[in-house]
Amino acid sequence: MTLLSALDYASVAVFALTGALVASRAQLDLVGFIFIACLTAVGGGTLRDVMLDRAPFWVTDPVVIAVAAAAAVLVFFAAHRLESRYRALLWLDACALAVAVPAGVGVALGAEVGWPVVLVMGMITGCMGGLMRDVVCNEVPLVLKQGEIYVTAAFAGALAAVVLAGLGRDGALIACAVVTFVLRAGSIAFGWRLPVYRPRPPRDGLR
């Protein structure tokens, strides 16, 4: 198995776990768990593949759907054992982001597109599945929480891969995963935040 294939499978499995955890917070049935898990697991990669004019990766390799479904069933029967499902969700999502971004970058590099497209494909693969999950389950999307280093972590990881492409594809993808995880983990563990826009009151009564 190549590193890129391993990243795809890891991304599917871990994102599926996060989807199932969100489904548990929404108190869905088992079919709902599987649906949300699969949506989360393949959402970003599907959008990436469609934009790159490729067959969606789960169509050419349906085993990934079975992996996502198995993760959903596992969480359905085990989620109640977690002390804090939200804390588990945050850390699993950080791990999923750290494997999904390099997976997207690797596919884009293989398609021989320009570096701006590589950046966008990495971010889409890492962020869109979780965004779909949260919107469908009526949760505040993690990617949009005020000041959170999430999309920024995906961007920085993808940028690291582009800059370090001279190390070879595998070396660049490993660097991408490390940068993405360190930034996202720092945001969770140490409260790293980016400055956010603060509107100022209008002067002289003008708006």
204 in a structural domain: no
pLDDT at 161 over 90: yes
Tokens encoding 65: 């759907």
The half-sphere exposure of 129 on its side-chain side, counting CA atoms within 13 A, is 36
Instruction: State in Å, rounded, how far the first CA of the chain is from the last one.
Output: 59
51 lies in which domain range?
3-195
Query: What are the strands, taking DSSP E only, across 85-185?
Result: none
203 in a structural domain: no
pTM: 0.91
205 in a structural domain: no
The domain total for the chain is 1
190 in a structural domain: yes
Please provide the average confidence, as pLDDT, over all residues in the chain. 92
For the stretch 1-18, pLDDT in tens is 788 888 889 999 999 999
186 in a structural domain: yes
207 in a structural domain: no
